[in-house]
Amino acid sequence: LWILTRLRVASNLRPVRPSCALKAFAGTVRVTPLKKNHRLGRWVPFFKINNLIKFGCCKFQNQILGEFSELVCLYYASTDTVYGEGSKNKKFVETDPYASVNLYGRHKALAEQICLTRGFNVVRFPFIFGPSLVGGRPHFFDNIKADLEAGKTVEMFSDSYRSTLSFNQCAYYLVALIEKFGACPEKIVNIAGDDVMSKFDAAIALADKYGLDKSLIKPVSITQNTGIFKAKRAASGTLDNSKLKSLLHIKEIHLEV
């Protein structure tokens, strides 16, 4: 549904009275089209805080969150894009300042602040690599797998590093936080893996999992292929997950393809 009026949004929100909203305001708009059209956004399944920011409705932002005043907790699903440019050797901690390199990340950061100001929680996800959980909408993972199965060459960045996890893992750790704490006392938590992985590493893990030909995966450099992206992107952004592991009493977290 495209956003047409405040009345339509409010009328659809009022019947929803959960005690806890799980990933209710996750942003799904891609970086490149967002730069082209700042007003781009969809309401799926709840009205997203990111959209409120893109439409510049500051007063309306509080009105929408006011509709959730009975919530015990709400977790805003953010990403590593809020940190900006990182490196292989420096993992971002939750207290690091905002330094996004693109509009998408700045919208995420602003949405975080809106939620935090209301006393809600924020989780920051890494690069998520795994099979799509939405029928008919293949993910990056599915496209790579299909190409390898078809014997096609796949080029993957070997110098772009993230703390990669799968969709299932990200969901599992978020649910674990909610089940243990409700509203977690730590208001910002990185949900990420221990391993510093390039996208080339992730593709190799996929090939190993499904017994596919790893020689079809060719390493390329992101620093030499900046023209691929129309909007600027951070080459690397690894996350420190010490807080997550401490909260859930976990020793290690590794990508499960």
What pLDDT is attached to residue 30? 39
What pLDDT is attached to residue 19? 54
> Over pLDDT 70: what percentage of the chain?
70
pLDDT in tens, 141-194: 999 999 999 999 999 999 999 999 999 999 999 999 999 999 999 999 999 999
**Residue that is written with structure tokens 């809020």 in the block:** 82
Using CB atoms within 10 A of its CB, is residue 150 exposed (0-12), middle (13-18) or buried (19+)?
exposed
**Average pLDDT of span 102-117:** 92
Contact 28, 50 (CB under 8 A): no
Nearest to 111 by CA among 188, 19, 5: 188
DSSP string, 99-139: --SSHHHHHHHHHHHHHHHTT-EEEEE--B-S--SSTT---
Q: Which helix (H) or strand (E) element contains residue 144?
A: helix 140-149
Contact 154, 144 (CB under 8 A): yes
What pLDDT is attached to residue 232? 84
The SS3 assignment for 187 reads coil
**Average pLDDT of span 31-38:** 43
| Main-chain phi, psi angles of 205, to 5 degrees | -60, -40
**Average pLDDT of span 125-140:** 91
Q: Residue 223: which pLDDT band, with cuts at 50, 70 and 90?
A: confident
Within 10 A of 136 (CB to CB), how many other CB atoms are there? 5
What pLDDT is attached to residue 140? 93
**Residue that is written with structure tokens 């405040």 in the block:** 6
Contact 204, 214 (CB under 8 A): yes
Q: Residue 34: which pLDDT band, with cuts at 50, 70 and 90?
A: very low
**Average pLDDT of span 228-234:** 78
Alpha-carbon separation of residue 179 from 46, 169, 254 (angstroms): 22, 15, 22
pLDDT in tens, 74-84: 899 999 999 99
Nearest to 81 by CA among 118, 54, 110, 56: 110
pTM for the whole structure: 0.79
What pLDDT is attached to residue 110? 93
Both ends of the chain: CA-CA distance in Å? 33
- Non-local (6+) Cβ contacts of 184 within 8 A are 73, 121, 177, 178, 247
Q: Which helix (H) or strand (E) element contains residue 197?
A: strand 197-198
What pLDDT is attached to residue 72? 72
- Torsion, Cα 203 197 173 28, to 10 degrees, reads -70
In this predicted structure, the answer to whether residue 198 has a pLDDT above a threshold of 50 is: yes
Mean pLDDT over each residue of the chain, to the nearest integer? 81
Q: Residue 62: which pLDDT band, with cuts at 50, 70 and 90?
A: low
What pLDDT is attached to residue 6? 47
In this predicted structure, the answer to whether residue 49 has a pLDDT above a threshold of 90 is: no
In this predicted structure, the answer to whether residue 133 has a pLDDT above a threshold of 90 is: no
